[in-house]
Structure 1
Amino acid sequence: MSAVESSARRLPLVLRNPSFGRVWAGQLLTQAASRMFQVGAVWWLVGFAGGSHRGLDSGLFLMVSTLPAVGLAPVVARVVARHAHRTVLAGAAAAAGAVAAAAALLARAEALPMAAIYAVGLALAACQALFDPCLTTSVPELVEDADIESATGFELSTQSVAGLGGGLLGPLAVDAGGLPGVVAACAVAYLLAALLVRSARFPHATARTGGGSPSDTAPASRTLRQVLAGLPFIRRVLVCFAAANVFTTAVYVVMPLYTRGVLHSTGSTVASLEAALGVGTLVGSFTGARVPGRPVAVGSVCLIVMAAALGLPGLAAGHAVALGALCVVGWCVGVIGVRFVALFQRLVPADDKPQFFAVMQALLGATFPVASLVFGALGDHLSARTLCLVQGVGLVPVALALRWAGGRTDAEELPGSATQSPARAREAS
């Protein structure tokens, strides 16, 4: 390898592969816009739209915004499999930009009815539900084999960065320009993303996708029921985390209600709380592997710590208390994600991993609409401080159930347990 080539290899992938850099920038823009609209719309519903059903309205909006990722999974899979990925990515971003631009124009002319806001949220979420898995599938078409791991790392990190940026900018945009302002900003981001993706080259698309149907060379994938039939430990863990998500994801409903009803503050406070949660999650993702202990023990302790942190703002109201609590919650979420995804990578057979992780995300994502609706409705009848306590108390039995699930794990549940080392077998409990 020449000195020039060696120097180029040391550059970040997004710089030495311009096409991947453009697509990655498009992902960053679309995910940030999606999050900015969700957080901004919720703050607008709670802080500006008024009415006696602020909690229910915002909860319903978040529920509607999360349904496409779960309900459209089969449709998305067929579209991604049958069409050129650059066309799908650019089309999804352009469609989202057109919807946001139309909504911005209508919102400037007259106030949008609640049904229209829900419809815009549903449409943007549907476009994002198509964009994200298509991008994951197209990574091998954009980069060389040696760069796939690096590209995957960039792709996975984008969600946290975009969520942090979008969550920070959404309430600020609403305070500055109302609902039309935040929707207009989203339209610009989506349309710019479409142009970036369209200008990118997918040099390996023909080589990777041509030459036969996957069914000609790969064995038929098993259903999730078949995958989990021999892994009762993983079944129990997934049930625990689905239950935990009902209480943890409710924070996106509770935060705006807490800001308005307890702190009596503005969108900048909602933005700071979103930022605290995002920063905590990023730090937890980077430090989770260094936390000592077996995954179930670490997960159980983290859930107890999260319970205390979520309940603390209900006992001691204050901006600083809420900021600190959400930093801790985010850190625990990051640690749990790192430790258990790594554990599942070891326990789930290689041939079953694509099916398992796809359905795992759908299962955990399906709890978000439930949390949004339930806590949104409760927010019209209970104070925000009480909702904080409900979140904390609800996580305690989940932490105990996770600990019990780990205690029932035995070596027979592990793939290839007969040849596994005792250290790796103990890692699962």
Structure 2
Amino acid sequence: MTAPRPAGPLILRNRAFAAVWLGQVLTQAAVRMFQVGVSWWIVAYAVADARGLASGLFMAACTLPAVVLAPVVAGAVGRFAHRSVLRGAAGLAAVVAGILAVWAQGGGPPLAGVYAAALALATCQAFFDPCLTTSVPELVDDADIETATGFELSTQSLAGLGGALLGALTVDRAGVAALAAGCAAAYAGAAVLVASARFRTAGAAPADQAQTGQAEQAGGADQAGAPAAAPAARRPLRRILGELPYVRRILVCFTAANLFTAAVFVVIPLYTRSVLGGGGGTVALLEASLGGGALVGAFTGTRVPGRPTVAGACCLGLMAVALALPGVFSHLPVVAGCLAVAGWCAGAVSVRFVALFQRLVPTADKPGFFAVMQAVLGASLPVASLVFGSAGDLLSPQTLCLVQGVGLLPAACALALLGARTPEPAPAAHPETPQTPQTVGGAR
């Protein structure tokens, strides 16, 4: 008879998960603190000319490793112990941030050194985040996996919001040296917390493994000596997407939309300095508006009525208006409100479509699909940073806002046409069985 699960919040009754979760909070806060703080330092203090290009290069350096190193990260996470990967990534990030702090303490660090530190920290984070998600079954019981995953995702947004609030304020008041020192302390604390946690070596209790072995022996002798069923071979992503044209077209729409939405992280510091004439506090307010809106959207997105394609098209249209309005009205309350609306739209759209993909993609194909989905959508971040950063040296921030809004409209229209022309496919009756094009609404 299975013992009843202890009552109470997961982080209070599972010390290992609580330690790793706290480590995640520290790393997420550190990475956002570093990104926002250095972006503001580049625009406000470090660069006199070509501020847009300089900040665009920095944001590209912060987002490129997660895309380029995806195969290497997947191999490392599958080959090495997860605690070692997490501890090593956090520890190395602490060393890099510490070196930058010492360097900056002796004077203003060169821009090339900051770029190198950004690449190194982003590389460490590219290993830490997917490894943490993969290691959840080694930290909690099977019945707690969904709770742990939801808790991890929600607090990740909160940690990023907190880091964004602190980044620009720290640079204004104490400089880059203090910013890097704070990041180093956060990463070091994360490494210590991960090292103190006990991971299950095989992701299952010994008794479960024994039962699995007995079941395999029984299955091998079943049906007059018939061999046990072999595990399904992993299918290439091209074949998966080829059988899911509805999903493929949605991904194309959002990849195009990301080229314009991702530019907001470059536009915010440029707009703050050139249009609003504000400081780090203004950057923190705008980042908080955007992040707070996204957090609310993630919790309320499931309540948006209508089919996902219709709701997504409406949200993209509303986001286009919200991102374009600061190009016409340059008042701080208006800009903050528009960013809050844009963040809400982004959070709501993400929830609706990730849930849709969870229903439509066969279970056996989900690991590869979601990994590549993140890489495809993430690939637009460095491109958007470079393009809008370079354009920021030629065009005013108000013009960039208008370009963002106008650029989102084709993606919104394409998503609306997709929903009008193609019936939404029904979930597969047997998720483990690959779907054929006919079961996906007959779309071609």
**TM-score, normalised on structure 1?**
0.92
What is the deviation of 1:9? 3.3
Task: Select 1:236's aligned residue among 224, 244, 249.
Answer: 249
Are 1:68 and 2:81 counterparts?
no
Q: CA 1:425–1:182 in 2, change beyond 3 Å: closer, same or farther?
A: same
Matched positions, count: 416
Question: Is 1:364–2:361 an aligned residue pair?
Answer: no
The answer to whether 1:338 aligns with 2:351 is: yes
- CA separation of 1:329/1:169 partners in 2, compared to 1, >3 Å: closer, same or farther? same
Residue number in structure 2 paired with 1:218:
231
Separation in 2, partners of 1:168, 1:150: 27
Q: How does 1:3-152 map to 2 (within 5 A)?
A: 9-152=6-149
1:192 to 1:412, Cα distance in 2 relative to 1, 3 A: closer
Rate the CA distance shift 1:232–1:114 in 2: closer, same or farther, 3 A. same
Structure 1: distance between partners of 2:32 and 2:323: 22
Task: Tell me the amino acid that sits aligned with residue 203 of structure 1.
Answer: R
Q: What is the CA distance between 1:11 and its match in structure 2?
A: 1.6
CA gap 1:411/1:185 in 2 versus in 1, 3 angstroms: closer
> 3-state SS of the aligned residue for 1:9?
coil
CA distance in 1, matches of 2:205, 2:240: 27
Deviation at 1:307, TM superposition (A): 0.5
Alpha carbons 2:104, 2:177 under 8 Å: kept:
yes
What is the CA-CA distance between 1:101 and the residue it aligns to? Answer: 0.2
Could you tell me how far apart the structure 2 residues matched to 1:387 and 1:411 are? 35
Flag the 1:154–1:206 CA change in 2: closer, same or farther, 3 A. Answer: closer
AA matched with 2:72? V
Where do 4+ consecutive residues of structure 1 move more than 6 Å?
A: 208-212, 411-414
How far apart are residue 392 of structure 1 and its match? 0.5
Alpha carbons 2:324, 2:404 under 8 Å: kept: yes
Find the aligned partners of 2:252 and 2:420 in 1 and give their Cα distance: 15
Supply the distance in 1 between the matched residues of 2:288 and 2:205 (Cα, whole angstroms).
39
Report sequence identity in percent.
Answer: 60
- Distance change (3 Å), C-alpha of 1:130 and 1:398: same
Work out whether 1:352 is the aligned partner of 2:349. Answer: no
Selected match of 1:281 from 285, 291, 294: 294
Work out whether residues 281 and 332 of structure 1, in 8 Å CA contact, stay in contact via their aligned partners in 2.
Answer: yes
Distance 1:412 1:18 in 2: 42
Residues 285 and 101 of structure 1: is their aligned pair in 2 closer, same or farther, counting only changes over 3 Å?
Answer: same
Between the aligned partners of 1:115 and 1:412, the Cα distance in structure 2 is 50
The aligned amino acid for 2:94 is: G
What one-letter code is carried by the residue in structure 2 that aligns with 1:297? V
- 8 A contact 1:143–1:204 mirrored in 2: no
Deviations 1:190-219 (A, max 9, x none): 00100010011113546479899xxx9632
Partners of 1:140 and 1:208 within 8 A in 2: no
Letter in 2 for 1:120: A
Alignment of 1:128-207 (within 5 A): 128-203=125-200, 205=202, 207=204
Q: Deviations over 1:372-400 (max 9, x none)?
A: 00000000011111111110111111110
Q: CA deviation at 1:53?
A: 0.6
Paired position in structure 2 for 1:302: 315
* Partner of residue 263 from structure 1, selected from 270, 276, 288: 276
Q: For residues 67 and 217 of structure 1, what CA distance do their matches in structure 2 show?
A: 38
Q: Is the 8 A contact 1:142 1:204 kept in 2?
A: no
Closer, same or farther in 2 for the Cα pair 1:112/1:217, shift >3 Å? farther
Q: Does the Cα contact within 8 Å between 2:85 and 2:128 map onto a contact in 1? A: yes
Among 328, 342, 362, the alignment partner of 1:329 is 342
Question: Runs of 5+ in structure 2 lacking a partner?
Answer: 213-228
Would the alpha carbon gap of residues 271 and 404 (structure 1) be closer, same or farther in structure 2, given more than 3 Å must change? Answer: same
- Supply the distance in 1 between the matched residues of 2:400 and 2:168 (Cα, whole angstroms): 21
Q: For residues 268-289 of structure 1, give each alpha carbon's deviation from its aligned partner in whole angstroms, at most 9, with x where no partner exists.
A: 1101111111110111111111
Distance (Å, rounded) in 1 between the aligned partners of 2:423 and 2:296: 32
Change (3 A) 1:289 1:411: closer
Whole-Å Cα distance in 1 between the matches of residues 281 and 12 of structure 2? 34
- Letter of the 1:126 partner, please give it: T
Cα displacement (A) at 1:414: 6.2
Deviation digits for residues 217-271 of structure 1 (CA, Å, limit 9, x no counterpart): 6322111110011211111110100010011110000000010000000011101
User: 8 Å contact 2:325–2:402 — kept in the other structure?
Assistant: yes
* SS class of match (2:135): helix
Aligned counterparts of 1:143 and 1:317: Cα–Cα separation in 2? 49
Task: Give the equivalent residue in structure 1 for 2:222.
Answer: none
Cα distance in 1, alignment partners of residues 440 and 317 from structure 2? 25
Specify the SS of the correspondent of 2:22. Answer: helix
> 2:305 matched to which residue of 1?
292
Q: Distance in 2 between matches of 1:391 and 1:412?
A: 31
| Whole-angstrom CA distance in 1 between matches of 2:90 and 2:428 | 41
Whichever of the two has the greater Rg, that structure is 2
Q: Is the 8 A contact 1:13 1:151 kept in 2?
A: yes
